[in-house]
Amino acid sequence: MWNNNQSSRNDFILLGFSDRPWLETPLFVIFLLTYLLALFGNISIILVSHLDAQLDSPMYFFVSNLSLLDLCLTTSTVPQMLVNLRGPKKTISYGGCIAQLYIALAVGSTECILLGIMAFDRYAAICKPLHYPIIMNQKRCVHMATGTWISGFANSLVQSTFTVLTPRCGRRVMDHFFCEVPALLKLACIDTRVNEAELNVLGALLLLVPLTLIVGTYMFIAQAVMKISSSESRWKAFNTCASHILVVSLFYITAISMYVQPPSSYSRGRGKIMAIFYAIVTPSLNPFIYTLRNKDVKAALRRALTMEFWVKTR
């Protein structure tokens, strides 16, 4: 059993897998390797998207934004998880918990909207190819990306503030890996129905509305693709959308499971599993989903590695 005297009165205690100590070492190794993979993959995507002229397009501009979001998410959560898995103390400071809560929620909220914009980008590219350069011009792309970041961080500010101000009556032990809204609301010592209603309303707006738009957008895309006479062109159009569909599926399944439900029904087992997918697995897979399925990105990576090799050998 965890000893509360090992931490200060302002620290939060993150139990994680402390009830199964035999799991902590293998999980530490797995999480560390996955985190390094996420760093390598997302940083590579950001660099090649900005440095390679052949990837200077709206699609890769938004992909690099997605990689930056995933980089922020993993860095805000995983290092603290690794520290708690290896050390005897399972704590996080009050300030660290609030920062983790705000950043993780802001990044997740931003990604909800960004995935919707990326679906619209694919719709414009496939269904309106002649007007695509006008519809998705550079200025508009920058404005859309900026709007997603502002909206995501504004939503986080509202939800985080409501969550932090909820009285906990000294409760500070969370059976979780990191600080998130449902886990913190479980510590509340008052009726949290107002918080739950606010969480569900904002969660529905940021998750279900963009998801509905994405599904509708891809219905139009599917109709347009089926009208293409060339099987090669049809396959190319499908392939450009497949990566985005896979990323959307991974993200929304975990996010909806975590946030579109009353925290009072929050299952600690399911919460931990969803947290692993949300904070570690999905951000690690995203860059490889795009690179492994996209010959343009793979070619850009090869060009970057070849240039680096020749620079070093001179």
The residue among 256 and 95 whose pLDDT is bigger is 95
Q: What is the mean pLDDT of residues 229-245?
A: 73
DSSP structure string for 129-190: TTTHHHHT-HHHHHHHHHHHHHHHHHHHHHHHHHHHTS--TT--EESSSS--HHHHHTT-SS
Residue 210: strand, helix, or coil = helix
d(CA 302, CA 294) in angstroms, rounded, equals 13
The residue among 245 and 105 whose pLDDT is bigger is 105
Q: What is the mean pLDDT of residues 78-105?
A: 87
d(CA 111, CA 63) in angstroms, rounded, equals 11
d(CA 292, CA 290) in angstroms, rounded, equals 6
Per-residue DSSP letter, 270: H
Written as one letter, the residue type at 166 is T
Lowest-pLDDT range, 36-45, 184-193, 225-234? 225-234
CB atoms within 10 A of CB 28: 17
pLDDT given at position 269? 61
Closest Cα to residue 87, out of 36, 174, 13, 172? 13
CATH class of the domain at 4-313: mainly alpha
pLDDT given at position 270? 64
Structure tokens at 65: 């934004």
Q: What is the pTM of this model?
A: 0.84
Residue 15: strand, helix, or coil = coil
The residues, ordered by sequence, that sit 6+ positions from 275 with a Cβ below 8 Å of its Cβ are 176, 177, 178, 180, 258
pLDDT given at position 99? 92
pLDDT given at position 66? 92
Burial of residue 247, with CB atoms counted within 10 A of its CB: 0-12 exposed, 13-18 middle, 19 or more buried:
buried
The yes-or-no verdict on residue 283 having pLDDT over 50 is: yes
